[in-house]
């Protein structure tokens, strides 16, 4: 997704995951050709984000 580089900056991904621009491009190409695999990953990420949101909501609710 080209928006990654715009939103967080490509260097963030390269450092965090130890990859370069070619590997990122190859990964994006692979997952765009395998949407079922990509969808599984996406759902796992959404579930993790929802759990984090619930945790933050509990913390902020306790502060009020």
pLDDT (tens digit, 9 = 90+) per residue, 7-56? 677 788 788 889 999 998 999 899 999 999 999 999 999 999 999 998 88
CA–CA dist 58, 52 (Å, integer): 10
Question: 0.75 cut: is pTM over it?
Answer: no
When divided into structural domains, the chain yields a total of: 2
Do 26 and 43 lie in one domain? The reply is no
> Is 61 in the same domain as 39?
yes
Element (DSSP H or E) covering residue 28: helix 21-33
**CA angle in degrees (0–180, nearest 5) for 28-1-29:** 20
Residue 59 has a pLDDT of 86
> Do 39 and 28 lie in a common domain?
no
Beta carbons within 8 Å of 14's beta carbon, 6+ residues apart: 20, 21, 24
Predicted local distance difference test score (pLDDT) of residue 45: 94
Domain around 15: 1-33
- 29 with 4, same domain: the answer is yes
- Model pLDDT, residue 2: 59
**In terms of domains, do 26 and 40 share one?**
no
**Residue whose structure tokens are 């009020």:** 64
- Identify whether residues 23 and 48 lie together within a single domain: no
Q: What is the predicted pLDDT for the residue at 6?
A: 66
Residues 10 and 20 in one domain: yes
């Amino acid at each position: 997704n080209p928006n990654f580089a715009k939103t967080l900056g490509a260097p963030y991904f390269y450092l965090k995951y130890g990859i370069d621009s070619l590997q990122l491009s190859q990964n994006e190409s692979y997952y765009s050709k395998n949407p079922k695999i990509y969808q599984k990953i996406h759902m796992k990420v959404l579930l993790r984000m929802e759990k984090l949101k619930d945790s933050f909501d509990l913390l902020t609710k306790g502060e009020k």
